[in-house]
A and B are shown apart, each in its own frame.
Chain A
Amino acid sequence: MTDVQATTTGVLPAPDREPVVHTSALTKYFGTTAAVRDLTFEVEHGSITGVVGPNGAGKSTTFLMLSTLLSPTEGEMAVCGFDPIAESSEVRRHVGYVPDFFGIYDDLTVTEYLHFFAATYGIRGHRREVLASELLELVDLGVKADSPVNSLSRGMKQRLCLARALVHDPQLLILDEPASGLDPRARIELRALLRELQRMGKSILISSHILTELEEVCSHVAILEAGQLVTYGSPADLRGAYSGLRRFRIRVMAGRKPMVLALLEQREDVTVVDDTAWGDEVVEVEMSGEDDMVAALLAFIVANGIALVEFTELRAGIEDIFLRATKGTVS
């Protein structure tokens, strides 16, 4: 994973297994508007791939096409080795789709809701009872098994929808904005659930506006803008590709900040970033270069008698990468 380079084609080098999702020059026009243009990317088995982009970037359209609910105008795609157009029933057997809305039947109970979708896959009788029970335990809704669906909170409904998408044990989960509108606790629970599903061997394709959510769970991130793939790669690689200068936080003992600033002024490879904003003990600096240069800077400060409390590299988050990678345009 570490040798993967951030790329704007989204095709990762020679995976061990056939990718669970593969798109090639995928394009979707609504009238004359291109919702998705020349989208080429792959999703590895067992990965959690986040799709990030502003509204109108083409995330939901891409998910609909991969879920067999929308046909592309041009291009090719394969999901779990099947063509979503020609082999839609095969794709549906391997994909669990959670749209960006709940899609629930208010007059059913939680268990009946799962029973209904299980029955659509021919799962009946005792097997269905056991399956529903296990899924409700997995999404922590066991205590709500007999409650009407319309009595559930937003977070619970989202977890129920996730359980619904799992009734046929799909290989790939496509989740469109699953964290939208959830409170912090529900988001944390959702993240934990996604990790659990990944441990169970599921591949997950997820979109979200809450970029920090994705950062914590995603093994790969694709950034879309105006229907096009801007960049794709692991968060670490994207960080390396887009962060440019490395930023460090230096915390010293109280009253030593002027001494540090004076020292740093002597070094041409270091730029102090707005030292007034960080109080009397903290300095943030930017520098380029590899780890040996960072070690040299640290040694330089210590050698000059400055007692350090903290010397930390501030890693660029997905939000930073997103802002640097995109221009704010929509389709």
Chain B
Amino acid sequence: MISNPIFERELKERARTVRMPVVLSIFLLLFGCAVWIIVASLTSDAGRVFGATLTGRNLFHWILFFLLLFVSFITAPYASGMIAGERERQTLHLVQMSGMTPRQIVTGKIMASLAWVTLLVVATLPFAAISVILGGVTWTEMVVGYAMVLFCAATFSTLCIGLSSRMKRSSGAAVLSIMLVLVFWVGTWAVFGLAVWAQDDFSPQVRPTWALTLNPLVGTASAIQGRDQGGTDEPNVMRALFFFVHTSKDPSLGFPFALPGQGANPPAPGTRTVPFWVWTAGWYLLLDLLAFRWAVVGVTTPRATFVAGGRRRRRGQLEEAS
């Protein structure tokens, strides 16, 4: 698996370009600025007005939010150029003609993309370590939070590689990939809003949260908050999302989006519930598989474009002629 020639070549090439260290530096700079702004606001008087203080948990949630945001929008255009870029520089035919199968080609591309995502995510660990030092965050929470971010970013990468396999230009693929990520980040909320409007009932008990199962932020919020056993109730985006989703359904109806054992949302006796983030992870896994298959078909040659019965008809004509 590791000895995939495409993966090896991509790593070698990326390590030699100026682009990678530049993008990584800009990413860390922006991320550092975001963390600094959070810390500054949480320690300022204005921050305290809203009841927020600098706690490890609070900082960790904000770090995950920005990490997910940045990583989603950096990895998508990167991944979208992986196959379209090969097509653009006219090397795709050579790779297709080589000893690699389409499945190996796509696997190599996904591995290279995941390596890049992992590098970005791992590079932010020192920031997350600050929240651990401040207290209130367990190592398990950190691992779960980072795993969810990686999983979301990996899904976006795979989807964008699938997109890339069908595009002729990497610039076009990059634009489409950004739009695709926006669908997950913003589109899901739009669908949610439309669903609320359609059902004409704005009460929290009947919120159509199913529309948000594809939202990476809500899924991640659910994953880390599900392990929040007595942390602070400082207001932040993750906590808000968590309560938005998990207090929205009446668990007695058996709707599976409730988390068992949560004070705000106790399950009814005998109700089988599936955590919200499991739905997110499940959908993403399904999308990963579909995108992988789509990408494999996209790089498979020759495509079956025979006219139905054409070969048989032609053979018949030849036999008739002879």
Residues of chain A at the chain B interface (Cβ within 8 Å):
24-25, 27, 65, 67-76, 84-85, 88-89, 92-93, 95, 97, 99, 101-105, 107-108, 112, 116-117, 119-122, 124, 164, 168
Q: Which of B89, B98, B306 contacts A92 (CB 8 A)?
A: B98
Inter-chain CA distance A242–B98, complex, in Å, is 41
Contact A76 B315 (CB under 8 A): yes
Contact flags B86-104 to A (C-beta < 8 A → 1, else 0)? 0001110111111111000
Contact B306 A74 (CB under 8 A): yes
Inter-chain CA distance A181–B231, complex, in Å, is 70
Contacting residues of chain B (1-50) with chain A, CB-CB under 8 angstroms: 3, 5, 8-9, 12-13, 16-17
B198 at the interface (CB under 8 A from A): no
A68-B301, A76-B311 given; A97·B13 CB < 8 A:
no
Residue numbers in A under 8 Å from B16 (CB-CB): 107
Contact flags B178-198 to A (C-beta < 8 A → 1, else 0)? 000000000000000000000
Q: B9: shortest Cβ distance to chain A, in Å?
A: 5
Q: Which 8 A-B pairs have the closest CB atoms?
A: A121-B99, A71-B302, A120-B98, A119-B5, A74-B310, A107-B13, A120-B99, A101-B90
Q: B111: shortest Cβ distance to chain A, in Å?
A: 14
Inter-chain CA distance A89–B301, complex, in Å, is 10
Inter-chain CA distance A229–B250, complex, in Å, is 75
Inter-chain CA distance A74–B308, complex, in Å, is 10
Contact flags B291-304 to A (C-beta < 8 A → 1, else 0)? 00000000001111
Residue numbers in A under 8 Å from B302 (CB-CB): 65, 68-71, 84-85, 88
Q: Which of A74, A104, A112 contacts B307 (CB 8 A)?
A: A74
Interface residue total, chain B, C-beta cutoff 8 A: 34
Contact B90 A74 (CB under 8 A): no
A99-B93, A120-B100, A122-B99 given; A105·B9 CB < 8 A:
yes
A84-B302, A119-B5 given; A69·B90 CB < 8 A:
no
B313 at the interface (CB under 8 A from A): yes
Q: A113: shortest Cβ distance to chain B, in Å?
A: 9
Q: Which of A84, A92, A168 has the largest count of B CB atoms less than 10 A from its CB?
A: A92
Inter-chain CA distance A112–B8, complex, in Å, is 11
Inter-chain CA distance A124–B99, complex, in Å, is 13
Inter-chain CA distance A164–B94, complex, in Å, is 9
Q: B300: shortest Cβ distance to chain A, in Å?
A: 9
Contact A68 B97 (CB under 8 A): yes
Q: List 18 A-B contacts (CB under 8 A).
A: A25-B317, A65-B302, A69-B93, A73-B305, A73-B310, A74-B307, A74-B313, A85-B302, A97-B93, A99-B93, A103-B93, A108-B12, A116-B8, A119-B3, A120-B5, A120-B98, A121-B98, A122-B99
Inter-chain CA distance A5–B100, complex, in Å, is 41
Name the residue of chain B whose CB is nearest to the CB of A124: B3
Residue numbers in A under 8 Å from B97 (CB-CB): 67-69, 92, 95, 97
Contact B301 A25 (CB under 8 A): no
Residues of chain B at the chain A interface (Cβ within 8 Å):
3, 5, 8-9, 12-13, 16-17, 89-91, 93-101, 301-307, 310-311, 313-315, 317-318
Contact B314 A104 (CB under 8 A): no
Contact B13 A108 (CB under 8 A): yes
Q: Which of B9, B91, B310 has the largest count of A CB atoms less than 10 A from its CB?
A: B9
Contact A71 B304 (CB under 8 A): yes
Residue numbers in B under 8 Å from A74 (CB-CB): 306-307, 310-311, 313-314
Contact A103 B89 (CB under 8 A): yes
Residue numbers in A under 8 Å from B8 (CB-CB): 116, 119
Contact B98 A117 (CB under 8 A): yes
Q: Which of B3, B12, B303, B310 contacts A112 (CB 8 A)?
A: B12
Contact A107 B17 (CB under 8 A): yes
Name the residue of chain A whose CB is nearest to the CB of B309: A74
Residue numbers in B under 8 Å from A105 (CB-CB): 9, 13, 91
Residue numbers in B under 8 Å from A97 (CB-CB): 93-94, 97
Contact B314 A76 (CB under 8 A): yes
Q: Which of B3, B96, B306 contacts A69 (CB 8 A)?
A: B96
A71-B305, A89-B101 given; A120·B95 CB < 8 A:
yes
Residue numbers in B under 8 Å from A65 (CB-CB): 302
Name the residue of chain B whose CB is nearest to the CB of A38: B314
Name the residue of chain A whose CB is nearest to the CB of B317: A25
Inter-chain CA distance A65–B302, complex, in Å, is 8
Q: A276: shortest Cβ distance to chain B, in Å?
A: 51
Residue numbers in A under 8 Å from B100 (CB-CB): 120
Q: A290: shortest Cβ distance to chain B, in Å?
A: 35
Inter-chain CA distance A92–B303, complex, in Å, is 15
Name the residue of chain A whose CB is nearest to the CB of B15: A107
Residue numbers in A under 8 Å from B96 (CB-CB): 69
Additional 14 contacts, C-beta under 8 A, given A108-B9, A121-B98, A164-B94 = A68-B302, A69-B96, A71-B303, A73-B307, A76-B314, A76-B315, A97-B94, A97-B97, A105-B13, A107-B12, A108-B13, A116-B5, A119-B3, A120-B95
Contact B99 A92 (CB under 8 A): yes
Q: A84: shortest Cβ distance to chain B, in Å?
A: 7
Inter-chain CA distance A104–B313, complex, in Å, is 41
Name the residue of chain B whose CB is nearest to the CB of A148: B16
Contact B314 A99 (CB under 8 A): no
Residue numbers in A under 8 Å from B307 (CB-CB): 73-74
Q: A217: shortest Cβ distance to chain B, in Å?
A: 23
Inter-chain CA distance A248–B306, complex, in Å, is 52
Inter-chain CA distance A116–B10, complex, in Å, is 10
Inter-chain CA distance A89–B304, complex, in Å, is 15
Residue numbers in B under 8 Å from A122 (CB-CB): 99
Q: B132: shortest Cβ distance to chain A, in Å?
A: 38
Q: B182: shortest Cβ distance to chain A, in Å?
A: 31
Residue numbers in A under 8 Å from B318 (CB-CB): 24-25
Inter-chain CA distance A93–B99, complex, in Å, is 7
A25-B318, A120-B99, A121-B99 given; A103·B306 CB < 8 A:
no
